[in-house]
Structure 1
C-alpha cells in the first residue's frame, strides 16, 4: 500500500521543449488547490463532528455506559501514544545519526527527520481525532435508533466519515505543506526525495497503533466470550459480564484509532512514492506530474463527501444496500475526477493518456474485486461460511479444521486478481508512454502500476468511513442491550451491527489488496534506491558509473540473499505468533478476573449488583501496551540487523571486468580501484521481497479465515443448526475465539508490517552499502 520512494529512477529522456508540463505551468495552482481542498475537508469533518455531537445522547443509563467506554478508550490511547512518542523520538535521533554515517548531507538528513516526525504526528492525530468522535457517536447512534433506523445509520456513517476525511486530508495537507516549505516549487525534482521519512513515520505509528489496539480489543473480546457465552451462558454485551466495557472499548482503539493510522500510512506513503515517480519523469510531465497524486487525493475527498451525504435508508431495507449506494457514487465520481486529472496533468504530444487512465481503472476494478472476494469468503449467504457453520454440528474440532481450510483457500482468488492487475497496469503504462524516447519500458511499466495503486486508493476516505461505522454501531448495540432497551430497538441496532461487521471485513480486504498491488513497486523502489546510493559513492570517489548499470537482478543462489529471504518469510510468522500469543496471555488474565468476580460477588449473575468493569479495563490496558512493544521492535530491528550484519559478512572482491553482476563489486576503473560490497543490500532485498510475499498471503489467510469463523457463529445465532446455546453454537464460539486474533490483531498488523518493512529499508538503505 505504500510506495515511499523510487529514488534514482531519473531517466535521460529527450523530450522537445514543447512537451506538456515541462515548464511547470500551473504547478503552483495545482499545489494550492490540493492544499485548499485538504483544509476544506478538515472543515467538513469538523462540521460533521459538530452535527453528530449535537444529536441527542440518550437516557442517563445509556450515557453512563457510553461514558465508561469513552474514559477507557481515551485512557488507553493516551498511554499508548506516550509509548509510541518515546520510540519515535529515539528513532528520529538514530535516523539522523545514521544518515551522517552514510555521508548524507546535514540538510538532507534534517529534512528527512522532520518529515519523519511530521508523518508520525499526523498519523497519531488522525487516529486520535477519529476515535474521539467515534466514542461519542456510539451513544448518539443508540439514541437515534429508538426512533429511526435511517437517523441512526446516518449518524453512525457521518461519525465514521470524520475519521475518513481527517485521515486523508491530513495526509494531503501534511505532504503538500512539507513540499511547499522544502522549496518544492523552486526545486521540484529533488524535494520529493526529502519526504521519504513521512511514510516511515506514518508506518511506525500505524504498526504500534494497530498492534496495540488489536491486542486490546481481541483480548477483551475473547475473555468476555469464553466466560460469558460459553461458561455462564449469558448473551453478548450482557451487563453482568465484567469484561463487556473493555470489549466495547477495544472496538474503538482497534478498529477506529488503529485502522485510521493504517489507512493514513497507506495514503501518505502512496502520495510520496507517486510524487517521487513524478519527479523521475519530470522531463515528460513537468511539475504537474509530481503534484498529480495530491490532486487525486483531493478528488478522493470531494467524492467521498458526496458519497456520505447520499446515504439514507428506511425501516425495511438492509443498511448495507444504502452504504453500497454511497460507495458506488463515490467510485463513479472518483473515476471521473481521475480521468479529468489524467487528461489535464499527464497529457502531452508523446503521451497517450487513455492508456494511463486505463491504469487507474484497473486499480478501481481491483478494489471492487477485493471487496467482492472478501464478501464471498466472509458473508453467511455463501458456501465458505456455511461450510464452517455445518462443521460446528460435530464439535469445535471440526469447526476449526473447516475454518483453517477456508482460510488457506482464501489467498487464491486475490492473488489471481493482483497478478492480473500488475500485468495489465504495467502493460498499460508501457503503452501510454511508448511514444517517449529514451526511457526504459521498466520505468514506464512501474509508473503504470503506481497509477493503478492510486486508482485503488481513490475511494479511501469513504472506505474508512464505512470501516469506522462498524465499531460505532457495535458499541451502539452494546449500549442498547446493557441499558435494557425494548427488543424493537435492539432489532434496529442488530441490522446496523450486521452491516458494520460486513464493512469491517470488506475494509480489511481492501487494505490488503492495496498493499498487495504495491508490493512489486516497493521492491523496485528499494532496488532503485540502492542504485542511486552506489552512484553517489562512485562519484564521491572520483569514479564513473558504467553505462546501463542497474541493481535489478537479485540472485537467490547467493547465500546472503537466500538467508535474507528465509529471514523475511520467518519474520511474518514470528511476528504473527507473538501477536496471537499476546492476545492469548492477555485474554487469560481477563478470563481469570471475570471468573474471580463471579465467585467473589454472586449478586452479579443474579442481577442484584454490578460488576467492576474498571478492573478488566485496567488489566487489558496495561497488558496490551506491554505486549505491543516486542513485536513492533522486532519488525523495526530485523531489516536493519540483516543489512548491517551482511554488510560486513563477506569480504570485498576485486573485479577485473567492466561486466559484472550486482553482488560482486563495481569494476576497478569505476571508482579508482576501491571495491564496493553489496552483500548487505542484496540480503535486505531478499528479506523485503520474500517477506512481502509471505506477509500478503498470511494476512489474507488470517483476515478472511477469521471473518469466516465470526460470521459462521452469527449464522448459527440466526437460528440455524439449533441457534443460540446449542452445541453447534458453542462450537462456533470456540472457532470464533480462534479467529478473533487472526482477523483483528495479527492480520491487520501484517498489512502495516508489509509497508513498514518497505519504508524502513528505503529510509535506511544508505547504511547497507
Structure 2
C-alpha cells in the first residue's frame, strides 16, 4: 500500500483530535454569571466582525473566480484553478473561524480554571490553542489530499493530457497535477491576507485607543471594565491573533507542501517526490499530538518554568519527526537520496533556533528586554529609540539561520551536482520547519486566550491570586506570540524561496524555449529588485497608517464616553462597549482593501511591464526586505510589550510610575509593529509568488519586455 494514504489519514486524525480538545475545553466551567456575561460580549463582537469580514471577502473571491474562469476558458489556466482557488480560501477562512470560536469560548473557562491552579488554567488555554493548531493542519492537508487524488484520477485518462514530444505518460501526469495544485495556494494566501490585515487593524486600533486613554490619560488599570474600548480590545485579540494567525500559517503550510511537490517534478523524482512532503506533514501531525500531552506545569512556576513546559511539547514533537523522517526518505526515495533527510533536519533546527533567538530578544527573562525597560526611565523617546535598535539588531541571527539552512539544504540534497535537487531540498527544509505546526501554532494561539482570561479576571473582580496566575499566563503568551511570529516569518522566508523556484519551474513548463537572464545587470531584473524591495515598506506604511487612523477614532470615542456618561468613572454605569466594537469593525473592513489589492495587483502589473525576468527580480527583492522588515517589526513590538509587563511587575517604580507611562507609549507604537504590519508582511511575500505563478501564462503571452 502506498504511503500516500498517510496524508488523508493524518488530516482526519488532526481534525478528530481537535474535536476531542474542543469538547474538553467546552466541558470546563465558565465561572460566575458576570464572567459569562463578559465572555458573551467578546464572542458576540468577534462573530459580528467575522461575519462582516467574510461578506467583504466573498465579493473579492467572486470577482477573482470570474477572472480566473475567463482565463481558464481562454486557455491560460486549467479549468480546475478557479475552483481550487475557492477551496483554498474557504478552508483557510474556516480554520480561522473554528479556532476563534473555541478561543472566545475558552477565555472565561481559563480564568475560572485559574481560580483552582496555575496548571489548570494553562491546560485549558493550551487546549484551546491546540484546537487552532490541529484544525489548521487538518484542513490544510485535507484540501491538498482531495486535489491530489482527484487530479491523479482525472489525469489517469491520457485523453486529458497534452504530451510533449518524447515525454513519458507518467511524467506528463505528475507535471499536470503539480501545475494545477501549485495555483490553488493563491486562495489560501488571499484569505490569509484579508484575515491578518483586517484582524490586525481591528485589534491594534482597539488596543492603542484603550491604552492611551485608559492607562496614560485617565490612569486606570489595564482591562478595567470602566474603559469603553476594553471589550473591543479583547475581541481584537481573537480576530487578529487567532483567526488571523491561523489563516496565515494555513497558507504557509499549504504553500510549502505544494511548492515542494512542484520542485520534485523538476528534480525528476516523479510521484514519490511529490508525495514525500504530504507524508512528512502527516507524520508531523502525529508527532504534534504526542507532544501536546507533555505540556503541564506546577503551581508557582516562574516564566522560565512555564516556557519550558510549552517548549517540552515542541521539542518532543520535533525529535519524533527527526526519527521517523529517516525511514520515510530511505525507503520512500532510496538510500541515494538520504541527503534529503538532512535537509529536513536543517529546516527543523532552523525553526527551533529562530524561536530561541526571538525569545531571547523579546522575553523579559533576558538582558535585551530588561535593558529596554531601563531606557523608559528617561521618557518615551528613549524607549522608542532603544526598541527600534533592538528590533534591527535582532534581524541578524534569523537571517544567518535561514541562510545557513538554505545552503545546508541545497548542498546535502545534491545541489552541487543537480541544481533542481538542491531546490527540492530547500523546499523540504520548509516542510520540515512547518511539520511541527500543530503544536507550534497551539503555543501561539494560546496567548490571546490567556490575555482574554486576564481581562475577564480583572473585569469580574476575581481574587488577587487569580489575577497573578492569569498575568503569568498572559506574560508567557506575549513571549510565545513573539516566538510564534518569528517561526511564521522564518517559515515564510523558506516557503517564499521554494515558491520562487516553483515559479521559475512553471515558466519552463509554459515556455520551454524561454531563456532566463537573472543577472543583476539585466535592467528588468534590477528594476524588479527595486520594486520588490519597496513593496514591503509600502505595505507596512499602509497598514500602520490604517491602525493610526482607526485608533484616533477610538481615542475620540473613549474620551467622549468618559466625559459625557455620568457615573462611568465611579463604576456606577457601564460604558457603551458596542460602539467601540462597531467603529473597529467598520473601519478595519474599509482599511484592509488597499493593502490586499496591492498584493494581488503588483505581480500582474510588474509582469506585464517587466516580463518574467522582472517578476523574478521583484519576488527576490520582496522576500529579502520583507523577511528582514517583518523580523524587525515583530521583535521590536514584542520587546516593547514585555518591557511594559516587566515594569508592571515592579521594576523601575512599577505601575503608575513615569517609567511605566513611557513604556505604555512604547507599547502602543509596538502594537501595530508586532500584530498588524510585521506578521502581514510574511503573507505578502508568499502571495506575491502565488499570484505570479497563477498569472504566469498571461505574463508570458503579453509582457512588454
Fold shared by both chains (TM-score > 0.5): yes
1:574 corresponds to:
538
Residue 491 in 1 paired to residue 491 in 2? no
What is the root-mean-square deviation of aligned Cα atoms in Å?
1.5
The question of whether the paired residues in 2 share the 8 Å contact of 1:144 and 1:152 is answered with yes
CA deviation after TM superposition for structure 1 residue 744, in Å: 0.3
Displacement of 1:556 in angstroms is 3.0
Contact 1:99–1:766 (Cα < 8 Å) also in 2: no
Partners of 1:527 and 1:338 in 2: how far apart? 28
1:256 lines up with 2:256 in the alignment: no
After TM superposition, give the deviation of residue 86 of structure 1 in Å. 1.2
What do the CA deviations read for 1:96-149 (whole angstroms, capped 9, x no partner)? 323455x43xxx521111111111111011111111111101111111111122
Unaligned runs of 5+ in 2: 157-172, 701-705
Partner of 2:152: helix, strand, or coil? coil
Verify: 1:212 aligned to 2:198, yes or no.
Answer: yes
Correspondent of 2:667 among 728, 732, 736: 736
CA distance in structure 2 between the partners assigned to 1:748 and 1:725 by the alignment = 31
Structure-to-structure mapping, 1:138-157, within 5 angstroms: 138-157=107-126
Q: Is the 8 A contact 1:112 1:196 kept in 2?
A: no
Using the TM superposition, give the Cα deviation of residue 559 of structure 1 relative to its aligned residue in structure 2, in angstroms: 3.4
Mark the CA change 1:441 to 1:279 in structure 2 (over 3 Å): closer, same or farther: closer
- How many angstroms does 1:642 deviate by? 1.7
The answer to whether the 8 A contact 2:39-2:105 is kept is yes
CA distance in 1, matches of 2:527, 2:345: 39
Q: Which residue of 2 aligns with 1:512?
A: 489
5+ residue gaps, structure 1, are 1-25, 435-439, 536-544, 647-678
2:35 alignment counterpart:
62
Check the 8 A contact 1:569/1:691 in 2, yes or no.
yes
The answer as to whether partners of 1:96 and 1:109 remain within 8 angstroms in 2 is no
What's the counterpart of residue 201 of structure 1?
187
1:43 equivalent in alignment to 2:16: yes
Paired residues of 1:130 and 1:163 also in contact (CA < 8 A): yes
**Partner SS for 2:655:** coil
Q: Is the 8 A contact 2:267 2:421 kept in 1?
A: no
Q: Please give the alpha-carbon distance, in whole angstroms, between the structure 2 residues aligned to 1:486 and 1:263.
A: 37
How many pairs align? 680
The one of 521, 526, 533 equivalent to 1:557 is 521
For 1:109, which of 78, 83, 101 is the aligned residue? 78
1:745 to partner: Cα distance? 0.1
Structure 1 residues 525-536: aligned runs within 5 Å: 525-535=502-512
1:126 and 2:95 correspond: yes
Q: How does 1:619-630 map to 2 (within 5 A)?
A: 619-630=583-594
Whole-Å Cα distance in 2 between the matches of residues 550 and 682 of structure 1? 10
Question: What corresponds to 1:688 in structure 2?
Answer: 619
SS at match of 2:300: coil
Q: 1:453 aligns with which of 398, 411, 430?
A: 430
- Computing the radius of gyration over CA atoms, which structure comes out larger, 1 or 2? 1
Aligned pairs for 1:224-263 within 5 A: 224-263=210-249
Mapped to 1, the partners of 2:146 and 2:328 lie a distance apart of: 21
Q: Which residue of the partner structure matches residue 366 of structure 2?
A: 382
Deviations 1:567-620 (A, max 9, x none): 212211111011001000000000000000000114111111111111101111
Report if the CA contact (8 A) 1:52-1:155 is conserved.
Answer: yes
Q: Is the CA contact (8 Å cut-off) linking 2:266 and 2:420 kept in structure 1?
A: no
Q: Equivalents in 2 of 1:377, 1:477: separation in Å?
A: 24
Q: Residue in 1 aligned with 2:561? A: 597
Which structure's residues are more often helix, by fraction? 2
Write the deviation string for residues 403-450 of structure 1: whole angstroms up to 9, x where unpaired: 11111112111111111111111110117xx8xxxxx62112111111
User: Could you tell me the TM-score, scaled by structure 1's length?
Assistant: 0.86
Is 1:293 aligned to 2:277, yes or no?
A: yes
1:345 is aligned to: 332
Which residue of the partner structure matches residue 752 of structure 1? 683
Q: Any conservation in 1 of the 2:263–2:501 contact (CA below 8 Å)? A: no
Which residue of 573, 597, 605 maps to 1:609?
A: 573
TM-score of the aligned structures, taking structure 2 as reference length: 0.94
Q: 1:524: Cα distance to partner?
A: 2.2
- d(CA) in 1 for partners of 2:340 and 2:22? 37
